[in-house]
Amino acid sequence: MVVYKHLLSALLLATNAAAGRGGIQKRQNDAPTTTWNGATYSCKCYNSDDCWPEQSAWDELNTAVDGNLVANAPAGAPCYQNHGANVEATYNQQECQEAVQGYGVAEWVDDQPATLMWPFYSNTTCEPAQNAQGTCTLGFLPEYVVMAKTAEHVQAGVQFAAEHNLRLVIRNTGHDFMGRSTGYGSLAINTHALNSIEFTSSYDGPGDWTGGAVTLGSGVQHSQLYPAANQLDPPVVVVGGECPTVGIAGGFIQGGGHGPLAGYHGLGSDQALEFKVVTADGDLTTANAEENPDLFWALKGGGPSTFGVLTSVTIKTHPEMTCTGMSVNITGYDETFWTGVADFHNMANHFTEAGMYVWFALMNGNLNIQPVVGPNMTEQEFTQVVQPFLDKLDQDGVQYQHEIREFSNFYDLWYNMFSKTNNVGDQQSLVGGRLFVAEDIEQHGDEIVDAIREVIGAGSGGFGGFGGGGAAASAAVMGGHVVNPGHAIPQEDYSATHPAWRRAATANLYIVSAEPGMSWEERKEIEDMVTNTLGQKLRDASPNSASYINEGDVNEPNWQETYWGDNYPRLLEIKQTWDPNGVFYAKSTPGTEDWEVIEYGTRLCKKQ
């Protein structure tokens, strides 16, 4: 089965707006019940149910969001002669070509209403391809999408989903490893257009921060924010991630958010000063240190799409500074190569104690470290820290190439040294992950490297974003980040993230290639391998460690403890307070214990 290399453009049909403005149609909707595997469930409403909204209700929603409601269609819809009943599209050769060309470009995917960069969780039932065969169906994609332009549009969408008992998903850029921004038969709210940026040199809101700050719409990406911060006079920096297409103000901060400056300034969630969030009742609510402080704490790392829909966040800014970076490449297919991998990975605590950050990609025969980041370090200071690592490689006879460069500011380092290969679409893969803490690196470092080697050895080949595609379903690649936010902010209760972040060493994710059009049984087989074969190897080798909610396994066993540790009971209580009826659902996030997606990945239901 061919793994298509490009992402698509979704063909969308807007519903007709009803005349005039008015409130959303309300009616009492009893949750439909069903039996599955011997258990009885109460479910969300779907288009086959009597409780599904009538067309007049959708028309009223479209009016309430100023005509920004679209009927969703998969990216590949223009490429197919045959379409399912819920896909209103016709074959169009030009639009198909645009979709085929755009499908592999992350920036193109960003602008689509509901397309995913990692489409495994869409069920890939309508992939773009010239001369596509078969029938195009929605698969697990949303039925409708609110393309929100204002906070009021978000409110209307949340209220509609709550009143009609619909599954609701939140989608920003489609940069989503774990499939939380899509869902069968759902209503989606797309926040990508909420992209305002407003800086202040002196924050005067609640809390003890008096430095600079920036208020961001929830659609702002790193590719927009980093240049804007650099162009100020004087320029500033913010704590974000390395990938340009990540939306900094949404799931990134709600999941914690690590990045190149996290070892120097703390996690992305540690920077939050205030949120504007639409809660489950449709209210636009402020959360900060004084107003709704419980919600404020939960939004700082308590889980994406869990407590509400962010419309904006205010975060700290920091002065620009000199930064130095180093790229290192190690190749080979003998034991010396893996000695070099061990030399690098076991040096993680040394790097993090200096406040450094490292991005790396590892596959069998190649370790690409691009780059090691030294915040507020000159080249001379940086070299003193990394020299023991280089000396160890030399001592062990490891062949490598490296380059050290000093930059006058962080922005130039980010723009020039970070690998751009993680900024592509059509990632026909799924992921798992492990957050290794310092004591496990110190006590079990060689065991962890042996486990990583087993994971990498699960197959051969590559992955589109890390050195080639077309790999078999068993091929695994490791991407990782050497980082310890606790170096900057050691307090375990500073945010809702797992306390393990305060003693972290590396945050790794492993990537397993899949293929479009897999059967349900094949999907379950590969998910089982990710969780119970590869994931278990890493869990066994790191007994004190955890996992990162944004870069982990969505099927992680004991996810409450693994993602949040001792913070989970408090998060669950806050979830039950702010969203008692489960308006917001994202798998393996607080309060979802009783919810399950049944009937072969379709209906979201709650066991009675």
Q: 116 and 49 in one domain?
A: yes
Q: Give phi and psi for 95, each to the nearest 5.
A: -65, -35
In a domain, 181, yes or no: yes
Q: 207 and 326 in one domain?
A: no
pLDDT in the model for residue 474: 43
HSE, side-chain direction, 13 A CA sphere, residue 252: 32
The residue range of the domain holding 520 is: 322-408+419-557
Whether this prediction's pTM lies above 0.95 is answered by: no
pLDDT in the model for residue 8: 24
Strands (E), 441-566: 476-482, 504-513
Q: 260 and 134 in one domain?
A: no
pLDDT in the model for residue 420: 66
Distances in Å between the alpha carbon of 120 and those of 72, 73, 78, 117, 354?
18, 16, 20, 9, 38
Where among 298, 319, 340 does a domain terminate? 319
In a domain, 602, yes or no: no
In a domain, 87, yes or no: yes
Q: 333 and 307 in one domain?
A: no
In a domain, 566, yes or no: no
Regions of the chain with pLDDT less than 70: 1-29, 419-423, 458-475
pLDDT in the model for residue 459: 40
Q: 237 and 94 in one domain?
A: no
What's the CA gap between 512 and 34, in Å, rounded?
Answer: 34
pLDDT in the model for residue 23: 34
Is the separation of the CB atoms in 197 and 227 below 8 Å?
A: no
Distances in Å between the alpha carbon of 397 and those of 68, 402, 487?
61, 15, 32
Identify residue 150 by its one-letter amino acid code. T
Structure tokens at 107: 């920036």
In a domain, 117, yes or no: yes
Q: 94 and 34 in one domain?
A: yes
Distances in Å between the alpha carbon of 201 and those of 53, 235, 294, 547?
48, 11, 27, 35
In a domain, 204, yes or no: yes
What is the side-by-side order of every strand in the sheet holding 144-147? 13-14, 69-71, 144-147, 187-190, 168-171
In a domain, 359, yes or no: yes
Q: 33 and 163 in one domain?
A: yes
Where among 266, 300, 319 does a domain terminate? 319
In a domain, 3, yes or no: no
Q: 537 and 391 in one domain?
A: yes
**What angle do the packed helices 55-64 and 151-163 form, to 10 degrees?**
160
Is the separation of the CB atoms in 516 and 129 below 8 Å?
A: no
**What angle do the packed helices 335-345 and 379-395 form, to 10 degrees?**
140
What's the CA gap between 340 and 33, in Å, rounded?
Answer: 57
Q: 207 and 147 in one domain?
A: no
Q: 331 and 315 in one domain?
A: no
pLDDT in the model for residue 18: 28
Number of domains in the chain: 3
Where among 276, 296, 319 does a domain terminate? 319
Identify residue 211 by its one-letter amino acid code. G
Q: 137-165: per-residue pLDDT in tens? A: 999 999 999 999 999 999 999 999 999 99
- DSSP character at residue 54: P
Q: What CATH code is carried by the domain that includes residue 394? A: 3.40.462.20
Question: Which residue from 386, 385, 464, 381 is spatially nearest to 427, judged by alpha carbons?
Answer: 464
Q: 338 and 291 in one domain?
A: no
Q: 388 and 472 in one domain?
A: yes
Identify residue 264 by its one-letter amino acid code. Y
pLDDT in the model for residue 508: 96
